[in-house]
Structure 1
């Protein structure tokens, strides 16, 4: 329908259509945020002000600095853009940047959505760029900044519920001359400024330490504020499940992949963090491999096909959602060219294969995931856990290669050491999906015990399996009413308390909700199994049948 036809409609119909269009626009705005701080930067020589504030549009519930510049650069006269020189440094510098400072008013919080800008550089201007924030003291890149501008997502948790001053900087470097210029032509911060939320408070846990799959009681307050609790995480890993019992109590199940660390609860879009760490009972067994690591890179000489192989030698199943792969187009680049978020779980002793590129694979293997963009010579790869780089590998400066980690060195390693890798300038499929890493010093429990559901007066059993079973000792434990793990002892009720299978006989209804795990010991190496819960149901009553 064109505008002429639209205006020929009756007024009520036009109003209805206009109303629908308005609601669609409003919905779009609500979904993607709206401008909270922007400036088209117009006028004569804006660079003469530091910071420059003329013409800026600002949400009434925040204060801002305008756009300013670091002490390492100098303003340069140009109309209708904020221009500077001094970018002729070889790498990211501490004082060569444009800066934006935003502070929410008391009682308000900023939920950022994105940052948009346009820019330009002269022929001798900078060639490398980075966008960073004070959230991590300007150490990590946010998105990928470019010379001409882009839209950078700020939808991550780190940029939500901001109640204190936050600073953003655009760094630039690599100019071929001291007079080379770079400017910001206009910019917009998108998001919402809302009444500050009240964080839920976490005060205690019961039990205070436990293995994976334990149901933990988390005490505190504010768990039913506003829209309620939407997330419980153990050191960044989402709980397997959780139930809000009351405003002061949540029951949550420890997920696979959880490690010792803080518990976070998100209620009414506001996240509270425990002051104390929660201790996950796992293993103290010695191993060369402290975490997930990159075990092999494969690059096909022709086309964009490649493989990134990861290995889990930790002795425990890993939740892969904590990890991502960052690929840098050249060794030493300040910002990655792409990021691959990982998914799923990975059992101990297993490999995780990422197929790279769109070309038909030369090698035969079953990938865990596929990423369409390829890689090539002189690339660098980082394995990141949450926000921390834990492993690095560099590719040789030629197309077609295999880079395989030696099985005699500790891993992961956040610094690339060439001598820890076997690098071949011609590719080979032979080792893809295979591993010869010796983590035999770790006693691996598999299968894990599973939850049992029975009727009262029936029998239940819980079983663990172990690798390297010779010389293993077992001790089953139960969580008592005080929240302490105590040894199970053989009795009329229990048998097999020090074997691989615990049997619970003639189970009374009072055992409903009991939790057990097995403590395994081999030559001083201790490992805790997952926990298993016993659910006991009342036996149904059968009505009597009488015959005359």
Structure 2
């Protein structure tokens, strides 16, 4: 058992090429106008308004979209949903008050996710600072949705051009590292005054960062496995000096 675990650990370190974290998907709604039809559903292309950045190593499976309990809005230079008017997490989940998107690595790639960054434009509808809550979840492949930590309090003043929220760190979530399947993110919100909008600061107002690397070729994998097993065999056969 220890031998198998050690081989797996060593392979995890040596088979995957190093890759620097970059923005895999970024959405900047600057320039998106209500006169052009408001906020698009399944926002996955700059042709729909604003600017969408997509790394060449990944693909957008489902563009930025809204749950069935919400409706589109018409705020210029922002993207989000109206109708997010529940007051508890359970009610928000039951009412499908969420925003979501999904992505997957291009064929032959491994995808590792490190961070979510987002700016939120708080509506002018009165709300008590610190009472608005939101919760991110993820799902890998056909699995179940998993909460990312605990519900978070929205920070900042309302009726501004946007407030940067604390970065959501994903690097410690093992299920989101070296992924070959589709990953979907959902964000539920409640006590929001009815609207939740990404915007309206310069640059991306929602960005997912990470890295992409090529899946090692089978011949290289076999060579590495044999090399590790040979090293381990010699290690366990060598008498300990005494």
TM-score (norm 1): 0.31
1:44 aligns with 2:41: no
Given candidates 26, 34, 57, the residue that maps to 2:53 is 57
Cα 1:66–1:109 shift into 2, 3 Å: same
CA distance in structure 2 between the partners assigned to 1:198 and 1:160 by the alignment: 19
Q: 1:489-504 counterparts in 2 under 5 A?
A: none
The answer to whether the 8 Å contact 2:117/2:208 transfers is yes
Cα 1:124–1:175 shift into 2, 3 Å: farther
Cα 1:224–1:58 shift into 2, 3 Å: same
1:129 aligns with 2:134: yes
What is the DSSP-based 3-state SS (H/G/I as helix, E as strand, rest coil) of the residue aligned with 2:145?
A: coil
CA distance in structure 2 between the partners assigned to 1:250 and 1:108 by the alignment: 34
1:84 aligns with 2:84: no
1:93-119 per-position Cα deviation (integer Å, ceiling 9, x unaligned)? 331111121111110111112111111
Paired residues in the alignment total 189
List alignment gaps of at least 5 residues for structure 1.
1-29, 200-220, 229-243, 253-511, 514-534, 539-548
What is the DSSP-based 3-state SS (H/G/I as helix, E as strand, rest coil) of the residue aligned with 1:38?
A: strand
CA distance in structure 1 between the partners assigned to 2:70 and 2:115 by the alignment: 26
1:169 aligns with 2:176: no
The answer to whether the 8 Å contact 1:47/1:84 transfers is no
**Equivalent in the alignment of 2:198:** 184
| Between structures 1 and 2, the one with greater strand share | 1
Superposition deviation, residue 144 in structure 1: 6.1
Given candidates 131, 138, 142, the residue that maps to 2:145 is 138
1:135-161 per-position Cα deviation (integer Å, ceiling 9, x unaligned)? 362232247645342211111222111
Cα 1:536–1:77 shift into 2, 3 Å: closer
Tell me which structure has the larger Cα radius of gyration: 1
The answer to whether the 8 Å contact 1:112/1:189 transfers is yes
CA distance in structure 2 between the partners assigned to 1:106 and 1:183 by the alignment: 33
1:72 aligns with 2:69: yes
**Equivalent in the alignment of 1:266:** none
CA distance in structure 2 between the partners assigned to 1:89 and 1:165 by the alignment: 29
List alignment gaps of at least 5 residues for structure 2.
1-17, 155-162, 200-204
CA distance in structure 1 between the partners assigned to 2:33 and 2:234 by the alignment: 59
Superposition deviation, residue 70 in structure 1: 0.7
The answer to whether the 8 Å contact 1:47/1:83 transfers is no
The answer to whether the 8 Å contact 2:39/2:80 transfers is no
1:224 aligns with 2:231: no
CA distance in structure 2 between the partners assigned to 1:98 and 1:250 by the alignment: 54
Superposition deviation, residue 222 in structure 1: 4.5
**Equivalent in the alignment of 1:96:** 97
Structure possessing the higher relative contact order (Cα contacts under 8 Å, 6 or more residues apart): 2
CA distance in structure 2 between the partners assigned to 1:47 and 1:247 by the alignment: 62
TM-score (norm 2): 0.65
**Equivalent in the alignment of 2:112:** 111
